[in-house]
Structure 1
């Protein structure tokens, strides 16, 4: 019985580790117009990645580093007066000011492109 339990645990861990990164299709409304774009979260076997939204360029941006290396250090931190949380800000490539990393697609509550709170999220690609 313990061997079977071990095999199931190994299989579960392998399945969880196999899904390292995802691409999500976001569909939002801006008035009568439908806005569709893709955003990536997570890394792969060889890399790790932070995702952020740059309000200046109106694009999602990515900070990537090799898996096993030290994660980038924050460029700054700010204190959120609404929650009391300290938020780490990172320097993303080709972005002028440091930005907070978005931990997962579920953390986005308002579409940054349109302001739509009822946007739809669909996982379209899993990468490793």
Structure 2
């Protein structure tokens, strides 16, 4: 009897599974000498919207390029070749930013805190957005 209930529950769960698009907001803590710097940065979107994240060195702020999931993803405005890695990097026009910027795809891809230069910064998942 219990085996049937468990099987039914698992079947209902598997049938009901759909791709979930969630964004993550991380709380980042970084050191700049003796000073501790804490801020939030967002990656990904929700069910209706998606977004790219970048850091603007001119304003020293994280910036976001958002679009509806029902629409096409933004296209790069230009591409540059990185002579250190041999990769071609796409640059996008972000709102209220003068120059095109590369996308930071995830918190894991961010190896250095852009505000402090700290390579040992800590990132803690703070909020999940759907």
| TM-score with structure 1 setting the length | 0.89
User: Greater CA radius of gyration, 1 or 2?
Assistant: 2
State the secondary structure of the residue aligned to 1:40. strand
- CA RMSD, 1 decimal: 2.0
Displacement of 1:54: 0.3
Which of residues 72, 75, 79 in structure 2 aligns to 1:73? 75
Q: Match of 1:107?
A: 109
Distance 1:69 1:115, change over 3 A: same
Aligned length: 125
Displacement of 1:117: 0.6
Which of residues 26, 30, 33 in structure 1 aligns to 2:32? 30
The 5-angstrom pairing of residues 33-72 of structure 1 reads 33-72=35-74
Displacement of 1:4: 7.5
Distance 1:93 1:84, change over 3 A: same
Displacement of 1:84: 1.1
Q: Match of 2:95?
A: 93
Displacement of 1:42: 0.3
Distance 1:36 1:5, change over 3 A: same
Gaps of 5+ in 2: 1-6
Matches of 1:101 and 1:81, distance apart in 2:
18
Displaced runs of 4 or more, over 3 A: 2-11
Q: Match of 2:124?
A: 122
Matches of 2:38 and 2:105, distance apart in 1:
21
